[in-house]
Amino acid sequence: MNLGFLIGVLGVLILSHAAYSTIQYRGLLKITEEEFSGPPMNVVLELIVGLALCMWAALTFPGKFLSIHPDSDENRAVSLPDNSDFMIFNHRGRLFPPEIDMKF
Amino acid sequence: MVTKTEETELNQLENQVENGGGGDWEYLCLVRKLKVRRSEIVFKHGLSILNDPGKRSALGPEEWTLYEQVAIAAMDCQSLGVAQNCIKALQKKFPESKRVGKLEALLLEAKGMWEEAEKAYTSLLEENPLDQVIHKRKVAMAKAQGKASLAIEHLNKYLEVFMADHDAWRELAEIYVSLQMYKQAAFCYEELILTQPTLPLYHLAYADVLYTIGGLENLISARKYYAATIDLTGGKSTRALLGICLCGSAIAQLSRGRNKEDKDMAAPELQSLAATALEKEYKQKAPAKLSLLSSALRSLKLS
């Protein structure tokens, strides 16, 4: 298990813990009959930390990203395949026997 | 299609293999994957692997694909004895195999025995009338015997059934160009562009054919397709840049006598931009020829 995966799991756990505390906070507010304006400060901090960890894990865990530019070196077509289905053998190279006489 | 990274990898492996630095099997696998035609090198090194029983057994079941690859490379290098032996070995291992049957018929073709090859292909087609490779071999045989119109007829019939075969459309376009039937070749390239619009090489070939046919509308379309090629390759296609300059000067020449309405609306900046890009590229890659290029471009602008 590499680091990215572990950090991703940690980030998801932190986010779910933040969700649980927000639900508990709302329950508390219902008892005291106050309005729910937003989660408390520490939950917001926890959310930001969880967000950062999850983003980092999502970018590092999947591995190398592929290029999407059509003219990058990985995607740029330099030549087409030589159409070997239509290959013919009576080209001019027929008259040049190979230099090394190979036997099999 | 071969991408730039694959091409550099192929050249690197080729240098390594030719200078005796190992990596034979990776090179052979890459050649098979990219479908390029490097028959001499494949023949030499593939055969050395096959002749060495230690290396041969290390390949395992891949050994038979290597036999096939070496057989075809041997036929291309005109070593028909070696090809015959490879095919015999394959026949011993896989009797009654259609793939080996195709190789035998291919060997008959390479020997120049056209009627026997024709008979072999017809019998193979009887068993399996929808075999694409055999139909294409019949076209190749017609092409090899110099009967271009027969090849065109066969290829047209093939394409009526298998319309999505890019290689066949490309082959048909090339045969038409060799017979100077440019309008039909343009049609084939249009089909190719429709199915694979992101491949700049088809746009380039189409623009070349349009430029050859000539006439004002064709030149304007040709310039559009050269521009599309430059767009798709990020400016790395020298041929397309030169094409724009030539089209521009040809259009200017043709529309000299006409009135202002027929003058082409595309910006004159296109030609000067292409010329600047060309000079920059030549300065980088071939500075010795820069003066030739500049004088050629100057004469184009004046004409």
DSSP-derived letter for residue B92 is H
Note whether A81 contacts B34, CB cutoff 8 Å: yes
Domain ranges, ordered by start, for chain A: 3-61
In sequence order, which residues have a C-beta less than 8 Å from that of residue B45 and are 6 or more positions away? B17, B24, B27, B28
Q: What is the DSSP string of B43-64?
A: HHHHHHHHH-HHHHHHHGGGHH
**What is the DSSP pairing of strand A77-79 with strand B2-3?**
antiparallel
DSSP-derived letter for residue A67 is P
Question: Quick one: pLDDT band at residue A34, thresholds 50, 70, 90?
Answer: confident
Question: Quick one: pLDDT band at residue A1, thresholds 50, 70, 90?
Answer: low
pLDDT digits (tens, 9 = 90+) for B136-185: 999 999 999 999 999 999 999 999 999 999 999 999 999 999 999 999 99
Residues of B in contact with A77 (CB under 8 A): 1-3, 199-201
Burial class from Cβ neighbours inside 10 Å (0-12, 13-18, 19+) for residue B268 reads exposed
CB of B7 within 8 A of CB of A81?
Answer: no
Any B CB within 8 A of A31 CB: no
Judged against a pLDDT cut of 90, whether residue A75 lies above it is answered with no
pLDDT, chain B, mean = 89
The phi, psi pair for B2, rounded to 5°, reads: -100, 120
Any B CB within 8 A of A83 CB: yes
Question: Quick one: pLDDT band at residue A97, thresholds 50, 70, 90?
Answer: confident
Rounded CA gap, B191 and B169, in Å? Answer: 8
The phi, psi pair for B111, rounded to 5°, reads: -75, -15
The stretch A37-50 carries a mean pLDDT of 86
- Looking at the complex, report in whole angstroms how far the Cα of residue B263 sits from the nearest Cα belonging to chain A: 33
Judged against a pLDDT cut of 80, whether residue A39 lies above it is answered with no
Judged against a pLDDT cut of 90, whether residue A30 lies above it is answered with no
Note whether B7 contacts A86, CB cutoff 8 Å: no
- Best mutation target, A73, A74, A80, to test chain B (most B CBs within 10 A): A80
Q: Which pair of structure tokens corresponds to residue B217?
A: 């509308």
The phi, psi pair for A82, rounded to 5°, reads: -80, 20
Rounded CA gap, A23 and A4, in Å? Answer: 29
Rounded CA gap, B246 and B223, in Å? Answer: 9
Low-confidence ranges of chain B (pLDDT < 70): 257-267, 302-303
* Beta-carbon-side half-sphere exposure of residue A22 (alpha carbons within 13 Å): 16
If residue B139 lies in a helix (H) or strand (E), which one and from where to where?
helix B132-144
- What confidence score (pLDDT) does residue A76 get? 83
- What confidence score (pLDDT) does residue B267 get? 65
- Looking at the complex, report in whole angstroms how far the Cα of residue B169 sits from the nearest Cα belonging to chain A: 11
Rounded CA gap, B22 and B45, in Å? Answer: 10
Strand partners, B285: none
Full-model pTM: 0.83
Any B CB within 8 A of A66 CB: no
* CB neighbours of residue A32 within 10 Å: 6
The stretch A32-61 carries a mean pLDDT of 86
- Looking at the complex, report in whole angstroms how far the Cα of residue A64 sits from the nearest Cα belonging to chain B: 16
A43-52 contacts at long range (C-beta below 8 A, 24 or more positions apart) = A43/A18, A46/A14, A46/A17, A46/A18, A46/A21, A47/A15, A47/A18, A49/A14, A50/A11, A50/A12, A50/A14, A50/A15, A50/A18, A51/A11, A51/A15, A52/A11
- What confidence score (pLDDT) does residue B266 get? 66
Rg over alpha carbons for chain B, rounded to the nearest Å, is 24
- Looking at the complex, report in whole angstroms how far the Cα of residue A65 sits from the nearest Cα belonging to chain B: 16
Strand partners, B2: A79
Note whether B4 contacts A78, CB cutoff 8 Å: yes
CB of B171 within 8 A of CB of B192?
Answer: no
Rounded CA gap, B217 and B249, in Å? Answer: 14
Residues of A in contact with B85 (CB under 8 A): 104
Judged against a pLDDT cut of 80, whether residue A7 lies above it is answered with yes
How far lies A74's CA from each of A17, A78, B6, B30, B37, in Å?
43, 10, 8, 16, 21
Any B CB within 8 A of A68 CB: no
Residues of A in contact with B110 (CB under 8 A): 89
pLDDT, chain A, mean = 85
CB of B54 within 8 A of CB of B48?
Answer: no
Burial class from Cβ neighbours inside 10 Å (0-12, 13-18, 19+) for residue A1 reads exposed
